[in-house]
Each structure stands twice: as structure tokens, then as C-alpha cells.
Amino acid sequence: MAETHDNQGAGAPGGFAPPPVFFERMQRLQTAVACGTPDRVPLSLVMDLFAANIMGVSYPDFVSSVDVAGATMLGAMEKLGDVDSIQFPTYAPDVLGMLWLAPMKVPGRDLPEHSQWQMDEQVRIQREDYDKILEMGWSAWFGQYVGMYLGAAAAAGQALMEAGPRWTMEYMKKGYVIFSPLTVDHPFEHIAGGRTVKEFTLDLFQIPDKVQAVLDVIMAEKREQTRHFLRAVGQPGLGYWVGSWRTAPEFLSPRLWNRFVWPYMKELVEIVAEEGGTPVLHYDANWDREIERLKDLPARRCVLELDGKTDIFRAKKILAGHMCILGDVHPAMLTLGTVADVKAYCDRLLDEVGPDGFIMAMGCAIPPDAKFENVKAMVDSVHR
């Protein structure tokens, strides 16, 4: 199974000329990624159910059709004003099952209509599965696992691969850049999701050699699949999430992190960069401890995307000139804060993290219940 199975299809087929504003925005983003100073700080958003809320679309309709999702998100972009980019053009939360090897519960199907989608995390990978992976290889084992648990996730992945390029083109027609529509997943995230964090953590202490052997088997296949995938997509500069959720340093001691997380993370980032992509380090949770380590990644090629838990101001001091930073208006501020709170925080971001090598954004994703005026304040902040 390819690791690049998450959000959306890649490119926009040719055959039309995007409006001039598209190129302005693209230039702005590329300058920021290269740690330069654009004409103004660019914006890049991640949103799903927030778009449904502000466009008056029901959650069940949004999550069950990639076309409804695409149209809704595009409508939200227009409603928000002058936004340079969105990270992916449409969405289907079921696809997250392919990352964390756990089915999703979605509104209207598994949850009440106005609920946020959530992961159904249970112990589905047993310790015996490690032996099976070592014996069968990752792809063969994963194919069986998908058959057992991830039918909806696989279908969502297919739908997104089909709809992604189509919707990318629709955004381009209106001048929006699709910034990072694809993902390259860390082997640890797969196993930690299917095994649950608690059980997987115990495995790291109790059967470390076997866990490492499994991660190595997965990585051996990912190494090749990732290169082939990027070559097939063939769009230099396109962003690929190399994300971190359960692999955050906040959760693991250095001894474990140095063995089970960083070598794989570093290699995946390097592969994406070598193949011409832009690694987008979508790092949730607190990365303070390991920010220095990011200086080992290719200079002026990656984007560090923070969610409000890492000290972004300190990160800037350490990574200035080496890595573009994207973020990080905290979800709780967008939900509970005031316009004045958001404005003050964005001003600080612009002053201390910008204007060079910085992309203004929410932390992680705009929460469904964010206040429109707060998100608008974040969007407008770059025009001060």
C-alpha cells in the first residue's frame, strides 16, 4: 500500500490559464518557503466542517461527497476574502483511517448529524500481527487489514484521488493555490493508531527489537513507493504532509524518539525533498524539545506547520533562514477568543515569526465551531 494515500489528488490538468492573482499568490508562497520576504505574508488554510458551517451545508452532506466538500470549501475561501491558498481542495474524513489504521466515525452515519468526525481507536493490531508483517511484508498484510477494517477509508482515498485534480483546477480558476494536498506517512503513526497508543508504547519498552524490525519492513516499502509516487505526480514544489501526531517528542522520551521516530521521519522528508516536493512538517503537539533537530533537514525546502502547542517564537529564533514556519493561531482562540485576541496574536506572529519565511495560518485546522469573525480577523491580519 502506498503511503501517499491521504488527501486528494495531485495536480491541475492543463488547458486553461489561471488568473494573474494565482501566480502572485504562488510567488508569495514560494518566496516564503525559501525563507525569503514576500510582498506580504501569505496565508494557507486547512478546514473542513468549518466550511460546512459557514456555508450552511449539513455535516452529513459534507462528509459523504467529495464534490459537496470541494464546492463548500471553495465557497468558504471566497467568503473569507483574500486567502492565498488552502492546503487541500476537498475532503473526506474517512480517508484518515488509512493513516491511523482505524475507521472513522462520521456525522450522519455513525454519529449525530451535528457531531464532528472522530476516530474509532481500538486495539485492532495484535502483537501476533508483528510476526505476520515480518513474514508477509507490509503491503500484503495491509491489504488484508484494509479488507477487514478500512473499506470506507479505501473508498474515500479513491474518491479523493479522482476528485482532487478536478477540484484543484476549480480553485486555480479562482486564483487559489492548493498548497499541500498529499501525504507521506510515518510508519509509527500507522502502527500506533491500529495498536492504540497505550499498547504500542508498552511494545516499545517490552519488545523494542521486534517493533523496530516491523518499522524497518514498512519503511523499506515506503522508500520506493514514495519516490515512485512523487515522480508520478510530477509537480515540483507541491507540498506533501510528512506529519506528526503520535510521534511528537512530547509523548516519547529521547531514547525512544531517537530510535523509533526521527530516523524514519528524516528519511521521508529527505526523499520528498530529493524528488522535488516540499515537505510540510504538519507537527501537532509540542515539539519544543527537538526543534534544533530540524536544522538537520534540507535548508529552505521544508515548511514547519505548528498547531499552537510548540513555542513558535522560539522555533523561529532557532530556524530563521533555514525553514519556513506556518501557523499557529490556536483552535481554542478561534473558537473562544475575541477578534481583538486574534488580531493581537496575529500581529505578534507577523512581527516575530514574519515577515520572512512565514505563512500565516491556524494551528492544525480551523475548528468546526470557530467564529467566522475570528477566522476573518486572522485572514485580514496579513493586510495590515
Partner 1 sequence: MTTSPLAQAVGDLEEDKAIVLVADKLAKGETALDILEELQAGMNIVGTRFEEGEYFLSELIYSADIFKKAGLPLQEELKNSVQSSYGTLVLGTVKNDIHDFGKDIVATVMSSNGIKVIDLGVNVEHQAFVDAIKESGATLVGMSCLLTTVFDDMKDAIAALKAAGLRDQVTVLIGGGPVDQATADYVGADYYCKTAQDGVIAAKKVLGVN
d(CA 191, CA 145): 12
Stretch of 80-88, 145-153, 192-200, 270-278 contacting partner 1, by CB under 8 A: 192-200
Among 67, 120, 292, 347, binds partner 1 (CB under 8 A): 120
Contact 303, 324 (CB under 8 A): yes
Query: Per-residue contact track with partner 1, 337 to 356, x per CB under 8 A?
Result: x-------------------
Contact 38, 28 (CB under 8 A): yes
Among 14, 15, 112, 148, binds partner 1 (CB under 8 A): 112
Contact 227, 169 (CB under 8 A): no
Question: Does 155 help bind partner 1 (rule: CB under 8 A)?
Answer: no
Among 24, 61, 82, 121, binds partner 1 (CB under 8 A): 121
Tell the smallest beta-carbon distance from residue 240 to partner 1 (Å): 24
Query: DSSP code of 139?
Result: H
Tell the smallest beta-carbon distance from residue 162 to partner 1 (Å): 29
Contacts of 327 (CB under 8 A, 6+ apart): 304, 305, 306, 307, 308, 312, 349, 353, 361, 362, 363
Residues 294-333 that bind partner 1 (CB under 8 A): 330-333
d(CA 124, CA 196): 8
Among 27, 30, 31, 115, binds partner 1 (CB under 8 A): 115
Q: How many residues does the chain have?
A: 384
d(CA 294, CA 281): 10
Cα dihedral 214, 10, 151, 113 in deg (nearest 10)? 120
Stretch of 138-146, 263-271, 294-302, 361-369 contacting partner 1, by CB under 8 A: 361-369
Question: Does 123 help bind partner 1 (rule: CB under 8 A)?
Answer: no
Tell the smallest beta-carbon distance from residue 152 to partner 1 (Å): 17
**35 vs 191 by CB, closer to partner 1:** 191
**18 vs 367 by CB, closer to partner 1:** 367
Residues 201-260 that bind partner 1 (CB under 8 A): 201-202, 204-206, 249-253, 256
Helix (H, G, I), strand (E, B) or coil at 286: coil
**186 vs 322 by CB, closer to partner 1:** 186
Tell the smallest beta-carbon distance from residue 340 to partner 1 (Å): 13
Q: Which is nearest to 109 in space by CA: 124, 121, 123, 92?
A: 92
- C-alpha cell of 282? 504538519
The β-bridge relationship of strands 182-183 and 358-362 is: unpaired
d(CA 156, CA 317): 40
Question: Does 335 help bind partner 1 (rule: CB under 8 A)?
Answer: yes
How many CB atoms are located within 10 Å of the residue 109 CB?
Answer: 14
Among 30, 116, 139, 258, binds partner 1 (CB under 8 A): 116
Tell the smallest beta-carbon distance from residue 218 to partner 1 (Å): 20
Q: State the residues that interact with partner 1 by CB under 8 A.
A: 105, 111-112, 115-116, 118-121, 196-198, 201-202, 204-206, 249-253, 256, 284-285, 330-337, 367-370
